Amino acid sequence: MQEKFYLTTAIDYVNGEPHIGHAYEKILSDVIIRHKRQIIDNAFMLTGTDEHGIKIQKTAASKGITPKELCDENFSKFEAAWKELEISYDKIIRTTDLQHTKTVKKIFSKLLENGDIYKHSYTGLYCSGCESFLSPKDLTEDGLCPDHMKKPEEITEENYFFKLTKYKDKIAEYIKSHPEFIQPSSRVNELLNQLENIEDISVSRTKSSVQWGIDVDGDESQTIYVWIDALSNYITAIGYDIDNPDEQFKKLWPADVHVIGKDIIKFHSIYWIAILMSLGLPLPKTIYAHGWITIDQSKMSKSIGNVIAPHDVLMAFNLDKPDAFRYYMASAALIGKDGNYSDEDFKEKVNADLANNIGNLLNRTLNMLVKYFDGEIKNEFITDKTSKIAILAENTKTQIIEAFNKYEIAEASNLIVSFADFVNKYVTETAPWSLAKEGKMLETGKVLYNVLEAMRHIAILLYPYCPNISADILTQLSQNTDFKYTNLVWGKLQAGKITEKDKIKPVFLRLDSEFATDKKKG
């Protein structure tokens, strides 16, 4: 039995407000951590915000406020967004936190002491959008940054550099010998190719260029750069200290997975790994690089005007709870692939899967239980684990655990829907209404029990995606809302009064239904 699971997300840059791309990563991460909590007790999720750098400095100046005031303002928006989406992180770190800044200074000094940081005068092509130096081969044919389509500025500075090249071969060997390290594995060759041409990296900027950041101890003319500042959050947040790390750090590190976007995989799989090697710390088990979310098949862009905030989706569809949005986003893309959001697809998918497939199945079965048995399950209705539906329930649980272990989150959701499909077909084929009409009440009762016990399993399996819908399903079955996998044993739905007519309500209203449209009016 796994004793702990430590998951981190990328930390969001607070130069702007949260959008659907930020939400995608946080929902993916939350689904993973909720699943792990169903199986083990010590599962910990870290998220946070990246709050230093020239872009924040410039934006704050343009607004006539301090960088810290800008960070505070936007941090509160990220925090509110994650609360609304019910992201169940255990800690949210800010890189302006005092403990983080103190530890980052110590980490920088340790790397310097180890001989892995040196000072060097350097002329390079700097992109302010990336806040990074680019090499000529990184640019387009027109000499532009491929991400921001602007020409980098040639800058000469004396900065501190980290000896990334020293760890080049060691990192390549580690990637090759640990197949679980990079997920999806399709990104491995990309990283190995990047390693071939890797150079030492600047880990500081002059104060004349960037004032808003953490000073280098002993050299206040220099500001510690993002590679050490931001990346170190994964260890500083859980109590890492050069001399005396906290017990929490000892229990949680190394991270079991860093969940990040595919655009920053190089920094996590090469830069961060080299820093950890220099510090003599164990390496994270897996770096999972998810794809991007497009809007109506177009990349999000402020200039196009298609940047969507998650709050706006909830408001547009009158959603009191985030379950439908969480489900859609978590199932939007297969592992590592890009996904797409559109209002029409969102409505169609959640109506089909949550309202029609799962919600309607529960509703009509409970109504039959009331009609034929006054809402009561009798002892003789309870079936054993050798039935076809019970075997499929057990197999589905096993397959979902395997999918989550490989971070196949959308694939796992498809398994739940497939199981619900099977149960719906089972109802059609057995036709309990016909059995009851023929007076075969024992057979009718067994069919209804199988369906309701399957619904209990579906509620537990669906919980990481839709915690509120899952709780509503268990409540309608008169069950405790305990979502641990230890409860995924066939036959735990006991005999007794389950429901009454006036207690049966849809657990999810179709988005185009009259009730869904009007539920917030008045």
Find the range with the poorest average confidence among 115-119, 133-137, 271-275.
Answer: 133-137
Q: Is 141 within 8 Å of 98 (Cβ atoms)?
A: no
Checking if the pLDDT of 369 tops 70, the result is yes
pLDDT score for 125? 86
3-class state of residue 85 by DSSP: coil
Q: Summarize the confidence of residues 373-378 as an average pLDDT.
A: 97
Checking if the pLDDT of 499 tops 50, the result is yes
Checking if the pLDDT of 456 tops 60, the result is yes
Q: Tell me the chain's radius of gyration from C-alpha atoms.
A: 26
The pLDDT-based confidence of 521 (bands split at 50, 70, 90) is very low
Residues assigned a catalytic role: 19, 22, 127, 130, 145, 148, 299, 302
Checking if the pLDDT of 14 tops 60, the result is yes
The pLDDT-based confidence of 508 (bands split at 50, 70, 90) is very high
pLDDT score for 271? 98
Token pair recorded at residue 97:
């936190």
The pLDDT-based confidence of 142 (bands split at 50, 70, 90) is confident
How far does Cα 87 stand from its chain's mean position? Answer: 9
Q: What is the topology classification, in CATH, of domain 343-518?
A: Isoleucyl-tRNA Synthetase; Domain 1 (1.10.730)
pLDDT score for 51? 97
Token pair recorded at residue 328:
């859609």
pTM above 0.75, yes or no: yes
Q: In terms of DSSP bridges, do strands 287-290 and 4-9 run parallel, antiparallel, or are they unpaired?
A: unpaired
Checking if the pLDDT of 518 tops 70, the result is no
Separation between Cα atoms, residue 473 and residue 374, nearest integer Å: 19
Q: Report the sign of the C-alpha dihedral through residues 432, 482, 470, 42, in that order.
A: negative
Mean pLDDT of the chain: 94
pLDDT score for 1? 59
Separation between Cα atoms, residue 470 and residue 391, nearest integer Å: 22
pLDDT score for 513? 61
Checking if the pLDDT of 444 tops 80, the result is yes
CA torsion 268-198-202-284 (nearest 10°) is 20
3-class state of residue 517 by DSSP: helix
pLDDT score for 382? 96
10 Å Cβ neighbour count for 77? Answer: 15
Checking if the pLDDT of 491 tops 60, the result is yes
Checking if the pLDDT of 449 tops 70, the result is yes
Q: Summarize the confidence of residues 340-347 as an average pLDDT.
A: 94
Separation between Cα atoms, residue 141 and residue 492, nearest integer Å: 65
Find the range with the poorest average confidence among 43-52, 292-301, 313-322, 384-393.
Answer: 292-301
Enumerate residues 6+ apart whose C-beta is below 8 A from 30: 45, 85, 86, 87, 88, 89, 326, 464
Beta-bridge mates of residue 160:
119
pLDDT tens readout for residues 75-127: 999 999 999 999 999 999 999 999 999 999 999 999 999 999 999 988 888 88
Find the range with the poorest average confidence among 262-276, 296-310, 345-359.
Answer: 296-310
pLDDT score for 336? 86
Find the range with the poorest average confidence among 118-127, 161-170, 180-189, 481-490.
Answer: 118-127
Separation between Cα atoms, residue 43 and residue 54, nearest integer Å: 35
Checking if the pLDDT of 517 tops 50, the result is no
Checking if the pLDDT of 329 tops 90, the result is yes
The pLDDT-based confidence of 520 (bands split at 50, 70, 90) is very low
pLDDT top residue among 278 and 125: 278
* DSSP codes joined into one string, 222-260: EEE-HHHHTTTHHHHTTT--SS---HHHHHHPSPSEEEE
Q: Which burial class, exposed, middle or buried, applies to 407 when counting CB atoms under 10 A from its CB (0-12, 13-18, 19+)?
A: buried
Q: Summarize the confidence of residues 372-398 as an average pLDDT.
A: 96
